[in-house]
Amino acid sequence: MILLSGLLQLIFLFTFSYQSHSQNLSSEDIKGQMVKDWERAKAYTIDYLNTMPAGKYSFKAVDSLRSFAMQMLHLSAGNVFLMSNATGSEPLPWLMSNPEHRASAQKKDSVMYYVTTSYDYCINAVKTFDVNKWGEKTKMFNVFEETRFALMNKTFEHQGHHRGQTTIYIRLQGIKPPEERLF
């Protein structure tokens, strides 16, 4: 009985402590977390770019797939295209030049440039986009109607998907890919 009483007291204290310290998240809190996540994703992707040897950027895991460079250039174009649609901000000028399909853009230094500028674009877009507009509905490809907030999240999902696809490219070179960065 004493054990049960002690256990109930602990549960009460934990519950009271949890309730007294819980807070509601504001839109600015969510924006701050989103910026933090984009900054972490940028650093993580740079780890991937630095892990793959420069001479292997043209490597394809399978002939029918994009090369490592093309995956990363697709990621960068997706960052800019999707985020510009989400926020209504002007896309970076290089987006329309389609760097993914330009041989001159597929060298390590060029890929690094496009990828880092795309992350900087997304980070700035999130920082400067009015949270009062996050709930506005907009259409992607004139088909998919989503909130601007949902499209910002889909942009983040897209970059994670394509960075993740390049893990096998690195492993097939006999190299250990970067450790996951959750924080």
**34-84 pLDDT tens trace:** 999 999 999 999 999 999 999 999 999 999 999 999 999 999 999 999 999
> CA angle at residue 166 from 164 to 169, to 5 degrees?
140
pLDDT at 115 over 80: yes
- Residues 6 or more apart whose Cβ sits within 8 Å of residue 173: 52, 53, 56, 59
d(CA 122, CA 131): 15
pLDDT tens-digit readout, 117-161: 999 999 999 999 999 999 999 998 889 999 999 999 999 999 999
Domains in the chain: boundaries: 28-171
The HSE-up count of residue 2 (CA atoms within 13 Å, CB side) is: 0
Distances (CA, A) of 130 to 26, 126, 134, 176: 13, 8, 7, 40
pLDDT at res. 22: 72
Contact in structure between 83 and 72 (CB atoms under 8 Å) = no
Architecture of domain 28-171: Up-down Bundle (1.20)
Q: Is residue 14 predicted with pLDDT exceeding 80?
A: no
Which residue would you say has higher pLDDT here, 145 or 17? Answer: 145
* Tokens 């006999």 found at: 174
169 band by pLDDT with thresholds 50, 70 and 90: very high
pLDDT tier at 4, thresholds 50, 70, 90: low
pLDDT score for 23: 84
Whether residue 31 is predicted with pLDDT greater than 70 in this model: the reply is: yes
Confidence of residue 162 (pLDDT cuts 50, 70, 90): very high
pLDDT tier for residue 182 given thresholds of 50, 70 and 90: confident
pLDDT band at 12 (very low <50, low <70, confident <90, very high): low
Gap between the Cα atoms of 1 and 164, Å rounded: 53
